[in-house]
Amino acid sequence: MKIREALRLRSMNISNVEISRSINCSRTTLIDLFHKCDEADLDYVKTAKLSDHELDQLIYPQSNQPKVQIPDPDFKAIHQELSNHAHVNRKLLWQEYHEQSPGGLAYSQFCERYRRWCLAQGDHLTMSVDRKAGETMEVDWAGETPYLICDRETGEMKPISLFVASLGNSIRLYAEAFPDMTLQNWIAAHTHALEYYGARPRIVTPDNCKTAVKKHVRYDPILNRTYQEWAEYYEIAVIPARPGKPKDKPNVEKGVGWLETWILGRLRHRYFFSFADLNKAIQEILAELDETPYQKRAGSRLSVFREVDLPAMRPLPAVRFEKPEFKVAKVGSNYHVEFDRTQYSVPHTYFQKQVTLRATGTTVEILYDNLRICSHPRNYNPRKRYATLPEHMPEKHRRYLEQNDWNGSRYRAWASKIGMNTYAVIDAMLQNSAIEEQSYKTCMGLIQLGRKYGDDRLESACSRARQLGGLTYTTVKNILKNGQDLLPLLNSGDQITLPLHENIRGAQYYK
């Protein structure tokens, strides 16, 4: 009943009939109301100092009071049980309460009073936060995994996992579909999100999934090592949300709901043969969402992103982050460690040391005590089992390798650097062997002569050997040993005059 309005009209000397018509009540009820007001010494002026509830309680003091007041259960303990145990609900806790207090609240009143208690604690209140421009990117996987990929050969429909990111003040959304939620796809999704925005935020906020957090510690969560390297590469702080606290990343939680309608809802009657085609369709929908105006603020996601978020963000590095793989291994007696069926060499001084291999798509790095000691290009040739650098070898192994690693082309190239005569001797030695490999040892011997006597004397000795027609290692060696290369060479036109002697018959004897 409109008690305050009835007293106001009465103070204006309006008849009870007209007042009952105005406030839509019977004349008998109105007269009873005025009697109660007179007993309480209440008029229209005094009602201005009272609230509606106080006025109602003053006129009808017993109307809202229950006959028997049942005390509330211990809602604080009940709330803690619901928060700490995922498999506990209000129905179970009410049953336990009812067993202890058979005359207690019915289930409906139990739930109603618990709701009022929660409201009084402020648990259902929300806090408005003005997001800083370009500071935080919130990330999450969508809970729904619809079947949108069709296998071309079998026709089988396969599920997808949808990655969602939300950025800064604009709450601009990014989404990409993947076959699963593995670490490799998690890192790729983050990298693609940064490239989509074209800049880096200062903070990334994921939940506590295994691909992000290896071990949860309340104040110092331990990130997955690859995820930590990704963050260090882009100079981004990863601050996971607290377990069971989705409001720590409200924008992406709301964004997941948005995109499950905007994307999955629109694509529910379509299927795709590849993730490339699916993600192309997703990008088209995101472009439409970017241009859609906000309902309660000026502009759109894209316009606010360009005006507010992007100027506050940092540029991306020139090279994209590559997801590394890690393996711990012990250096063997052959100073190699194995990764992906290939043996990679390590400096031989690290024999029997435990090292860490860090491999990307292009490089294999080997770390000891968290310092890089060497690196190799990653090998994808299944026929190549060893990737060995000569500087990693002991001296005697290196000499043996040099001796056995030469071939005919290499010997000829070496000889041509010394001179044409040395080249002619080497070439003749290689050609005169039925099997070229048989002459490699003698060619190596000729190289050693150059180291012993010098390249100039070797070239001179080879020239004399060519004049004598002895294109062999032994001939060149004897020339150098006897110092004949130091004597002047005779021209082909020079004639040696024989002395007169009775034993020399002369040319006439043979005619």
Instruction: For residue 176, name the pLDDT band (cuts at 50, 70, 90).
Output: very high
Average pLDDT, the chain: 84
The verdict on 169 and 300 lying in the same domain is yes
Residue 261 sits in a domain whose CATH number is 3.30.420.10
Per the domain annotation, does 85 fall within a domain?
A: yes
pLDDT value at position 26?
A: 87
pLDDT value at position 234?
A: 92
Q: What is the DSSP string of 184-244?
A: HHHHHHHHHHHHHHTSB-SEEE--S-TTTEEE--SSS-EE-HHHHHHHHHHT-EE-PPPTT
The verdict on 447 and 410 lying in the same domain is yes
332-349: average pLDDT = 91
Instruction: For residue 197, name the pLDDT band (cuts at 50, 70, 90).
Output: very high
Instruction: For residue 215, name the pLDDT band (cuts at 50, 70, 90).
Output: confident
State the Cα–Cα distance between residues 210 and 297, nearest whole angstrom: 37
pLDDT reading at 127 higher than 60? no
Lowest mean per-residue pLDDT among 401-415, 462-476, 482-496: 482-496
The verdict on 164 and 268 lying in the same domain is yes
Per the domain annotation, does 496 fall within a domain?
A: no
* 390 vs 130 pLDDT, higher one: 390
**Model's pTM, two decimal places?**
0.53
Angle at 502 (CA atoms; ends 496, 507), nearest 5 degrees: 55
Angle at 271 (CA atoms; ends 269, 273), nearest 5 degrees: 170
Which residues make beta-bridge pairs with 356? Answer: 328, 367
- % of the chain beyond a pLDDT of 90: 20
Q: What is the pLDDT of residues 267-292, one digit of tens each?
A: 888 888 988 999 999 999 899 988 88
Q: What is the pLDDT of residues 464-484, one digit of tens each?
A: 898 888 888 899 999 898 888
- Other Cβ atoms within 10 Å of 262 Cβ, number: 19
The verdict on 289 and 157 lying in the same domain is yes
pLDDT value at position 119?
A: 80
The verdict on 154 and 287 lying in the same domain is yes
Per the domain annotation, does 267 fall within a domain?
A: yes
The verdict on 291 and 254 lying in the same domain is yes
pLDDT value at position 500?
A: 63
Structural domain count, the chain? 5
Q: Are 385 and 343 in contact (CB under 8 A)?
A: yes
110-130: average pLDDT = 72
The verdict on 469 and 421 lying in the same domain is yes
pLDDT value at position 191?
A: 93
Query: Which residue segment(s) compose the domain that 266 sits in?
Result: 136-312
Instruction: For residue 313, name the pLDDT band (cuts at 50, 70, 90).
Output: very high
The verdict on 99 and 173 lying in the same domain is no
State the Cα–Cα distance between residues 51 and 53, nearest whole angstrom: 5
pLDDT value at position 338?
A: 92
Per the domain annotation, does 510 fall within a domain?
A: no
pLDDT reading at 33 higher than 60? yes
The verdict on 108 and 166 lying in the same domain is no
Q: Which of 4-8, 389-393, 394-398 has the highest mean pLDDT?
A: 389-393
Per the domain annotation, does 129 fall within a domain?
A: no
